[in-house]
A and B are shown apart, each in its own frame.
Chain A
Amino acid sequence: MCLAVPGKIVSVADDMAVVDFGGAKKDICVSLVDARIGEYVLVHAGFAIKTISKDDAKKNLELLYELGELIPDDR
Chain B
Amino acid sequence: MIDKDLKNPDILKGIIFKINKIAKDLKEPVNLMEVCGTHSQTIAKYGIRSILPKNVRLISGPGCPVCVTSQQDIDNIIELARQGVTVVTYGDMLRVPGTVMTLEKARAEGADVKHVYSALDSLKYKDAVFFAIGFETTAPMTAVAVKKGLTIYPAHKTIPAALSALISMELKISGFLQPGHVSAIIGSRSYSDLKIAQVISGFEAIDVLSSIYMLLEMIRDGKKGLHNEYLRIVSDEGNIKAQKILDEVFRPSDALWRGLGCIKGSGLTLKDKYKDQDAKIIYADILDKVPVAKEPKGCRCGDVLCGLCRPNECPLFSKSCTPKTPNGACMVSHEGSCQIEYRYGDL
What residues make up the interface of A, taking CB atoms closer than 8 Å to B?
1-4, 29, 31-33, 42, 44-47, 49-50, 52, 56-57, 59-61, 63-65, 67-70, 74
Tell me the B residues contacting A by CB distance below 8 Å. 2, 5-6, 8, 10-15, 17-18, 21, 36-38, 64-66, 90, 92, 117-121, 134-135, 137-138, 140-141, 144, 179-182, 184-185, 202, 206-207, 210, 213-214, 229-233, 235, 239, 241-242, 245, 333, 335
| B-side contacts of A44, CB under 8 Å | 137-138, 141, 181
A57 touches B2 (CB 8 A): yes
Cα–Cα distance between A60 and B8 once the two chains are bound (Å): 14
Cβ-defined contact, A49 with B14, below 8 A: no
18 more contacts with CB within 8 A, not counting A1-B92, A45-B118, A45-B138, are: A1-B135, A2-B36, A3-B181, A4-B137, A31-B144, A32-B239, A32-B242, A42-B181, A44-B181, A45-B117, A46-B119, A47-B118, A47-B140, A47-B144, A49-B140, A60-B231, A64-B11, A70-B18
Q: How far is the CB of B339 from chain A (nearest CB, A)?
A: 12
CB distance from A29 to the nearest CB of B (A): 6
Docked complex Cα distance between A14 and B333 (Å)? 34
In contact, B21 and A74 (Cβ under 8 angstroms): yes
With a 10 A CB-CB cut-off, give which of A2, A29, A47, A70 has the most chain B CB atoms.
Answer: A2
Residue of A nearest to B245 (CB): A32
Q: Contacts of B90 on A, CB cut-off 8 Å?
A: 1, 45
Contacts of A2 in B (CB 8 A): 36-38, 65, 134-135, 137-138, 179-182
6 contacts between A and B (CB under 8 A): A45-B119, A50-B233, A59-B231, A60-B202, A63-B231, A67-B210
> Whose C-beta in chain A lies nearest to the C-beta of B333?
A1
Residue in A closest to B140 when the chains form the complex, CB atoms:
A32
Q: Which one of B8, B10, B12, B181 contacts A49 once the chains associate, using CB atoms below 8 Å?
A: B181
A70 to chain B, nearest CB (A): 5
Bound Cα distance A52, B185 (Å): 14
CB neighbours (8 Å) of B8 from chain A are 68
The reply to whether A70 and B17 form a contact with Cβ atoms under 8 Å apart is yes
Give A12 to B217 CA distance when docked, in angstroms. 44
Which B residues lie within 8 Å of A74 (CB)? 17-18, 21
